[in-house]
Amino acid sequence: MVQESLIPLNTNGQYNHRDYRDLPELDLVAVNQKLSQADAYTLVKWGYETFKEGMVMTTSFGIQAAGMLHLVISVVPNMPIIWIDTGYLPVETYKFAEELIERLKLNIKVYQSPMSPGRMEALYGKLWAEKDIDALNRYDQIRKVEPMQRALKELKATAWLAGLRGEQTKHRQGLDRISKQSDIYKILPILSWNARDIYQYLTAHDLPYHPFFDLGYTTVGDWHSSRPLTADDTDERDTRFHGLKQECGLHLPQTQEEAQSLDSSSL
């Protein structure tokens, strides 16, 4: 276990900062080549040294969330961590989140839609129950995408750490470790990790899985759009969103073709 921050402190015991708004445009090809063999700790450290207080992290407190959370705060203990609470998470997720927030002393930033679940259902019906891409995308826009965009704006984020892994979907296999989504840089420290790497990290640091792991879940989101993996599933992401789509909308597509790919359950 890392015992102290890898980020240098100044003489007053505070993190060294600079004005992240003056950050120059990065040459992503060169940066990805330079950091292609860097381990996850090094990539987080590079991110903080580059973006300073402009870097944030997101978490959904999913099955293996404890690993990424622990790794990041081992490097930057007070990292702002955005949690988009849809209002539809399982009871177990809320309890798991509280356990990790307390245990890891997380600097959590909770964001929710300004439209309550009750109001949304009154106006649009139970969007999450419809086996229709347009309905599911509207649900994601209201409950996830809008709060996330607001969080990035209010926190003045210039870089976003996310726990995506290449083995999760074919789309994610083609991602770079550092990219740009709109005007925000995205950093994926554990992109190359597989399930065994996650297991070894959690074991080494005595970190828990989400309690749904023992019920056969390999991924978990809202209570109404997640289910355990079965023998008939060809991909673990088929257990989300009725098997109609594999991305929730936070990792926005850059092209129409990519959007169609993300909505496909046969990635």
Catalytic residue numbers, as ranges? 248
CA atoms of 49 and 31, how far apart (whole Å)? 14
Q: Which tokens go with 239?
A: 């257990």
DSSP secondary structure string, 160-172? Answer: EE----GGG-HHH
Question: Are 6 and 41 in contact, with CB atoms under 8 Å apart?
Answer: yes
CA atoms of 246 and 267, how far apart (whole Å)? 8
Largest CA distance in the chain: 59
Give the C-alpha distances (Å, rounded to integers) separating 70 from 4, 38, 102, 115, 224. 12, 18, 12, 32, 28
The 10 Å CB-count burial string (b at 16+, else e) for 168-185 is bbebbeebbbbeeeeebb
CA atoms of 63 and 215, how far apart (whole Å)? 11
The 10 Å CB-count burial string (b at 16+, else e) for 32-47 is eeebeeeebeebbbbb
CA atoms of 107 and 98, how far apart (whole Å)? 12
